[in-house]
């Protein structure tokens, strides 16, 4: 058997170093647990950055994928196929929107929303395409394409990848007033994460999303909510915008829409917005393919039961209550909603990386972000017992670091 150490060495030798993975080589996973090549088990507290909301290998999702693999996997959009209509109708109903434009990755869906907003701005508002601007937030993460990194404020994502795409205006996250001041007659949209995931699970002040909604309506511009990471059950609601009863003009979805099986993303919007896209103006060979749609349909059916949203809300209370008990014991702050937490570790005690490694040694896989933050987002199928156990591992790891 090739060992983890050997596989890591081989991976590092033959792959670009565009990630900094924890030294674990996963071989198998079921539910909330993964097993490495040596047979050691870990509780997954990252869920593929919220792509595995329904757990690894959810039977309904796997069954849908298997059935589809046996029948039809790809047609391209040159033809219709029998899974497409149901996927679009299902996602349309889930979002309450008329139309769906399917893509593959989150970044592609964000790019799609940007293109739609600009073309809508031209056709509906009369904004010249070379003049249009979209208001975006400091600390944003929307993906890694050249246009998207043009307005990233993370130096690693942004620096030295120019020339950059113009047409974006950065304002501080959490300030509706800053957006109000930045809007001008050439503004076509506001692009916002309802919770900033990659920035460390930053929850904006109450009322922020509704203020953006009101402002966009008043100004006649589009509100685009990037729910790629926050959507589809993670926060205890179908969409994080639901917490404020806010309906954006465009939902951007990805990650969990593919059930952890295939990349599936989409934007959802009403006909007056998405109807401006005509044949030939946007698309992707794999966007809306039969396998993606079959898996997406299974995901939508799971969400339609409401069970996952309710479970994430209930377990989220347990998670946050337990994590808050660690404040002053190595933890400085706990943020988040539902089964999603950003935990700031006392920087004097340890870096996030040191804590994620200590957790790994204790069979918990979590992701460190930005120096001293740890993110916890286990699959929603995690048992309450395992969830509490994971937080206890964090408590013990911090205690150990403190006394080392």
The least distance separating ligand PMP from the CB of residue 186, rounded to whole angstroms, comes to 24
- Pick one of 193, 211, 249, 344: the residue that binds ligand PMP (CB under 6 A): 193
Among all residues, whose Cβ is closest to ligand PMP? 106
Tell me whether residue 226 is one of the annotated catalytic residues.
yes
Please answer whether residues 336 and 322 qualify as being in contact, where contact means their C-beta atoms are separated by less than 8 angstroms. Answer: no
Closer Cβ to ligand PMP, 50 or 393, answer by number: 50
Does position 204 bind ligand PMP by CB under 6 A? no
Q: What is the DSSP string of 340-395?
A: -EEEEE-TTT--HHHHHHHHHHTTEE-EEETTTEEEE---TT--HHHHHHHHHHHH
197: left (phi over 0), alpha (psi -120 to 50) or beta: alpha
Asked if 45 touches ligand PMP (CB under 6 A), the answer is no
Which among 20-28, 102-110, 280-288, 319-327 is the span making contact with ligand PMP, rule CB under 6 A?
102-110
Give whichever of 31 and 263 is closer to ligand PMP, judged by the CB atom: 263
Distances (CA, A) of 403 to 350, 370, 400: 12, 24, 5
Q: Does 110 bind ligand PMP (CB under 6 A)?
A: yes
Q: For the chain, what is the total number of helices (H) and then of strands (E)?
A: 14, 15
For the beta carbon of residue 257, count every other beta carbon within 10 angstroms: 29
Q: How far is the CB of 355 from ligand PMP (least distance, A)?
A: 21
Cβ–Cβ < 8 Å for 157, 124:
no
Stretch that binds ligand PMP, among 21-29, 138-146, 149-157, 176-184 (CB under 6 A): 138-146
Cis amide prior to 163 (ω within 30 degrees): yes
Instruction: Tell which one of 95, 191, 192, 198 touches ligand PMP (CB under 6 A).
Output: 198
In the beta sheet, which residues pair with residue 196?
A: 202
Strands in 286-330 per DSSP E = none
Calpha distance 32→42 (Å, rounded): 9
- Please say which residue, 1 or 16, places its beta carbon nearer to ligand PMP: 16
The pair of structure tokens assigned to 151 is: 């307005």
- By CB under 6 A, is residue 112 in contact with ligand PMP? no
Q: Which of 33, 42, 49, 308 binds ligand PMP (CB under 6 A)?
A: 49
- Among the listed residues 90, 92, 102, 106, the single contact to ligand PMP using CB under 6 A: 106
Could you confirm whether 141 is annotated as catalytic?
yes
Q: Among residues 54, 119, 168, 226, which one is catalytic?
A: 226
Whether 367 is catalytic: no
Q: Which of residues 218-277 bind ligand PMP (CB under 6 A)?
A: 226, 228-229, 254
Nearer to ligand PMP, 104 or 309 (CB): 104
CA dihedral 264, 270, 271, 276 (to 10 degrees): -70
Write down the least CB distance from residue 51 to ligand PMP, Å.
8
Window contacting ligand PMP (CB under 6 A); options: 14-22, 101-109, 208-216, 368-376: 101-109
* Maximum pairwise Cα distance, the chain: 64
- 3-state DSSP call for residue 169? strand
Give least dist CB 235 to ligand PMP, A. 13
**Lookup result for tokens 């600390």:** 139
Identified catalytic residue from 141, 168, 239, 286: 141
Residue 143 touches ligand PMP, criterion: CB under 6 A: yes
First to last CA, the chain: 35
Q: Which chain residues interact with ligand PMP by CB under 6 A?
A: 49, 105-107, 110, 141-143, 193, 197-198, 226, 228-229, 254
List the catalytic residues: 141, 226, 255
């Amino acid at each position: 058997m090739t060992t983890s150490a050997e596989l890591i060495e081989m991976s590092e030798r033959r792959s670009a170093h565009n990630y900094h993975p924890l030294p674990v080589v996963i071989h198998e996973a079921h539910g909330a647990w993964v097993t490495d090549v040596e047979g050691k088990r870990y509780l997954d507290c990252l869920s593929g950055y919220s792509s595995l909301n329904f757990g690894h290998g959810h039977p309904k999702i796997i069954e849908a994928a298997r059935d589809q693999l046996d029948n039809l996997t790809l047609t391209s959009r040159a033809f219709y196929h029998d899974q497409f209509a149901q996927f679009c109708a299902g996602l349309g109903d889930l979002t309450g929107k008329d139309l769906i434009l399917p893509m593959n990755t989150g970044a592609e869906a964000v790019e799609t929303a940007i293109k739609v907003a600009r073309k809508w701005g031209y056709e509906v508002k009369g904004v010249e395409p070379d003049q249009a601007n979209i208001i975006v937030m400091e600390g944003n993460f929307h993906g890694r394409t050249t246009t998207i990194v043009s307005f990233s404020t993370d130096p690693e994502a942004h620096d030295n990848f120019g020339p950059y795409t113009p047409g974006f205006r950065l304002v501080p996250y959490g300030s509706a007033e800053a957006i109000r001041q930045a809007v001008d007659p050439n503004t076509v949209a506001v692009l916002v994460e309802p919770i900033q995931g990659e920035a460390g699970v930053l929850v904006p002040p109450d009322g922020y999303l509704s203020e953006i909604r009101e402002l966009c309506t008043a100004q006649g511009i589009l509100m685009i909510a990037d729910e790629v990471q926050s959507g589809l059950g993670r926060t205890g609601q179908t969409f994080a915008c639901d917490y404020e009863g806010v309906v954006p003009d465009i939902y951007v979805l990805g990650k969990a829409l593919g059930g952890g099986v295939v990349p599936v993303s989409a934007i959802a919007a009403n006909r007056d917005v998405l109807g401006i896209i005509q044949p030939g103006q946007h698309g992707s060979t794999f966007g809306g393919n039969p396998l993606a749609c079959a898996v997406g349909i299974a995901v939508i059916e799971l969400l339609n039961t409401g069970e996952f949203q309710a479970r994430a809300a209930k377990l989220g209370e347990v998670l946050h209550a337990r994590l808050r008990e660690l404040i002053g014991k190595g933890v400085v702050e706990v943020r988040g909603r539902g089964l999603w937490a950003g935990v700031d570790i006392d920087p004097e005690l340890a870096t996030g990386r040191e804590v994620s490694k200590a957790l790994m040694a204790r069979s918990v896989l979590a992701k460190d972000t930005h120096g001293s933050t740890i993110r916890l987002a286990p699959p929603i199928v995690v048992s309450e017992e395992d969830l509490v156990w994971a937080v206890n591992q964090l408590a013990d790891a911090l205690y150990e670091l403190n006394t080392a």
